[in-house]
Each structure stands twice: as C-alpha cells, then as structure tokens.
Homo-oligomer: A and B are copies of this chain.
Amino acid sequence: MDKNLHALFAPENIAIVGASSNPQKAGYTILENLKNIGYPKKIFPINKFEKRLSGIPCFEKLSQIPDTVELVVLITPSEMIFEVMEDLSKRMEDKGDVKVIVCAAANYGETKTEQGIARQNCLVDTAKKYNIRLVGPNCIGVIDNINRVDTTFVETLLPKQSRGKKGGISFISQSGAVAASILMMGASQPAPISMNKFISIGNMADVDFIDLLEYFEQDIDTHVIGLYLEGYQEGKKLMETMARITRKKPIVVLKVGRSEIGAKAANSHTGSLAGSDAVYDGAFRQFGVIRVETIEELLDTLQAFDQCVLPKGNRIFILSQAGGPGIYCTDSFVAQKNLEFPKVCSKTKELLAECLPDMANICSPEGYADITAAANVKHHIESLRIVLEDTSVDGVIFITVVPTFLPQKELAEELVKLLKEKNVSKDKPVYICIMAGNYVWQAREILEKNGIRTYDTPVDCVKAASHMVTYHQFLQSRGEDGNEQIFE
C-alpha cells in the first residue's frame, strides 16, 4: 500500500490553500465540511487577506505553517498555481512533510489549452519532484468517514450523526458532478448513506483508478467498491486489477460512453478514450464486475452488497402484501434471467395457510405469495419467517404498501427484530420495499437506521437481488465462497 496515498485518507494535519469567508465560494464549504465532519487534527486555512476563518487562524503561505502538514488542498484560481507551487517547493526543501495534494480547482489540462496544460505540468512536476501524490486537478476531492476527512465542496446536508458512521462502501468517480449527485442523493435517503472512502479523481494527473483500486483492495474497512467510469487509457491493466480484486470484494461499475455519441462526449469531457464499450462489457462479465445502468441502481447495489449477506443460490421468493405490486415485481423478476422462483415444501405452504388471512394467495405461481391488504403486522412478520426457514429459499423480496390502517412504526420495528434474530436471515438476504412515497418514510427510516436497506420500488429490489446472485455465481465459478472473506 502506498504510504503517501494513505495520507490522503488519514493525514496528519491539512492545509487549505484558497480557504474563503464567502459562502458562495468552494473554499468556504471545504473548510466548513472539514470542521463538520469532525476532523480530529489541525486545519490550516491559507488566505492572504483574512486573520481567521471560521474561528481558525489563517496563514499567508504554506511555507509559514510551523506544524507538520501532510495533505494540501488547493482551491485557488488556477492562474496562481505557479506561485503556490513555488511556495510549496520552499516548504518541501525546508520540512519535506507534504505527502498528498488534492487540487479541487478546475481550468487545467482538461481545457486542452496551452495555458491549462502548462498549469497542470507545473503542478505535476512539483509533486513528482518531492514525491508528493496528486489527486485531480478538476475534482471535488476526498471523503473518509472513518478518519473524518472531507475536502469536498459539496454541501450534502448529511446530518452530523451520519458523518463518521461506519460503512463498507468505497467509491471512485471520474466526474465531479456525478460524484456530487451521488453524495447528495445518498444523503437524501431515509437513513443517509455513509461512504467509507469517496474520491473524485478529476483529470487523474497522478492518482488514478488503479492506485485507488489497489488501495481499496488492501483496505479492510472497504467491503465493496463502486466506480463511475468514463474511460481509461490502460484498459488492460485496469481489467487485470479488477479481475484480481473481484475474487475478494465485489466491484460495481457505472460505465458511461456506451454509445458512439456518448463516447465522443466523454472524450470531450475528460479527454479519456472511452474504448469500445463492448470490450469493457465483455471483460466486466468475465471478471465478475457488476455493471449497473443508472445512478439509483448503483447506490442500491452498493448498499445491498454492503448490508446484506450474499445469497447462496438464485432462488428468491416474492412475498407481497398486495397483488398489483407483486405482479409488477414478478415481471421484472422474470426479465432478470438469472433469478428463479423457489418451490417451497408442502409444510411451508401449510404453515403459510395457517398463519395468513383466508384471502391470501399462497404459491400461485410457485415462489410467490400475496398476503393481501387484510394482513396485519403479525401476518407480515410470521409469513416472512416461515418463508426464510424453507431450505429451498435463498433470499426474499418483501413488498408492502402500508395501508392507512396498518401501524407502520410497529411493522418496521418487528421487521428489525426478526431480521436481527440469530439464524433467521443469517445466510439469506431480504430485499425490502415499502412503496408509498413519503407516507412510509418513518418505517423506512427505522429499518435503515438499523442497517437494513429499503428500496424505492419492487424493481429496485429485483435488480439488487439479481446483481448479488450474479456475483455469487461468479465466485462459485471461480471456486471461491465469497461470504466468509467479504462479510466477516
């Protein structure tokens, strides 16, 4: 593991060059985010015109900070890079302490102008000379929720208690805007997602996909890796790295530039040659990399891998509180070619018939039950328990449209109790959808705060289940049994 890269996530003090008192500036938000996440070491804002920022004393220059500084965040206008690099050189000759630069500012190599390229060269050359790793430029920075580092200028509205929450997802984004969207969408869930490590890599002038994949490969806190990918020059090396990692941890990728026109736009954007999408697609399949199509599916799938056990097979039962949503779910279930409906034993059917309202539809078709709107909380919980206990069931998709007359708080609490019971869902994932907009926010919040992901729609459950089954099948074909290694 690259020791300097480690300082990106757990630096001994951080300097922010371009910190600002103006809330409309990125240099303001970066400082606020670092404070809000509770970064435990020292922060040094660099600003020539301010004495203090957000209560913290400012320095005029990097070279003046007496303490050790391992991470430098640059958010100055790009024209100033020459001056800043000169001062950094001075510091490095003196102290030699800086290990990583995050250059969040844009207007560098991505502009493809002579000036832009000259600015990026200055940055890269200085970093290289002093053995400093460089993230960016043209990125939104880095978050580490375990070590409490946040150098981004994205105001996620993430509640304070969620910052620092332990999650197993680490993410790399080639687009700052997609990165920002993912952070903000994740923060808008019933229980906000807390990424383990999160990086927007921008122009990849130095630190790139492979550096970070290798880092996450070794990082025991990372259980699943997510990527937003536009394109990468060294496609073969990227695939080899991924192929090695997927034997140990799942990788979920949103790769854009599928179409020729999309690829052209990608080239205009990050200057990356997207490469043939069909080649990527084939390699992803071969090496067990899970490819998703949308940002929502990306977030769902990452959380499914992080929070659920991997199913031991592809027989997933659909247990629905209502017919319409159940049929709707069945259609998308069948469309995923790798899922099967389990045939439960007659004892299970008898138990369900005993437990459920008369109107319930039990196993017509097989592997499907509609417990009906007459089902109370006990019917929900007991039928789920019965289905989970059947040995032919590898996992359950559980759908309910909480009617006005069903106490949603009680339902959620009882679900939490059941799923936390030893042995009940030990090796069987349960994908829960409570489908009634904000009306059921309370129930979803209770479940998610207890580490049980809920999905917006039955289709989202099906996709998450299908991706996990795909990964299970990949591990099996490789003679690995993922569960023990990944989800200790």
Contacts and interface: CB of A to CB of B under 8 A. Distances in A.
Given A107-B359, A259-B331, A264-B365, 14 more contacts: A26-B404, A153-B404, A154-B404, A175-B323, A185-B435, A188-B438, A256-B328, A262-B327, A265-B330, A265-B365, A268-B365, A269-B326, A269-B361, A270-B323
A364 B265 contact: yes
A438 B187 contact: yes
B438 A184 contact: yes
A262 B364 CA distance: 10
Nearest to A399: B177
Interface in A158-199: 173-181, 184-188
A180 B401 contact: yes
Interface in A328-353: 328, 330-331, 333-335, 341
A79 to B, nearest CB: 13
Contacts of A403: 26, 153-154, 180
Interface stretch (A39-47, A89-97, A366-374): A366-374
Contact of A370 (B176, B186, B269, B368): B269
With a 10 A CB-CB cut-off, give which of A228, A260, A325, A374 has the most chain B CB atoms: A325
Interface residues of A, number: 84
B359 A106 contact: yes
A266 interface: yes
A86 interface: no
* Chain A to chain B: the 8 pairs with minimum beta-carbon distance, closest first: A175-B324, A177-B322, A188-B437, A269-B323, A259-B334, A178-B324, A188-B438, A184-B437
A155 interface: yes
A278 interface: no
19 contacts: A106-B359, A157-B438, A157-B439, A176-B324, A176-B373, A177-B323, A177-B324, A180-B436, A181-B437, A230-B324, A259-B330, A259-B331, A259-B334, A261-B365, A262-B331, A264-B365, A265-B327, A268-B370, A295-B435
This chain: copies in complex = 2
Interface in A267-296: 268-270, 294-296
A477 interface: no
A262 to B, nearest CB: 4
A327 B177 contact: no
Interface in A379-426: 401, 403-405, 407
Given A228-B324, A261-B341, A373 B331 contact: no
Contacts of A372: 106
B323 A111 contact: no
Given A403-B153, A437-B184, A331 B264 contact: no
A259 B25 contact: no
Interface string A299-333: 00000000000000000000001111111101101
A117 interface: no
A456 to B, nearest CB: 8
A361 B323 contact: no
A322 B176 contact: yes
Nearest to A33: B404
A374 B370 CA distance: 52
Contacts of A407: 24
A156 interface: yes
B373 A262 contact: no
A125 interface: no
A340 to B, nearest CB: 11
Nearest to A260: B334
A250 interface: no
Given A330-B265, A439-B155, A175 B325 contact: yes
Contacts of A459: 294
Nearest to A27: B405
A63 interface: no
A188 B364 CA distance: 33
A119 interface: no
Contacts of A21: none
A222 interface: no
A401 B153 contact: no
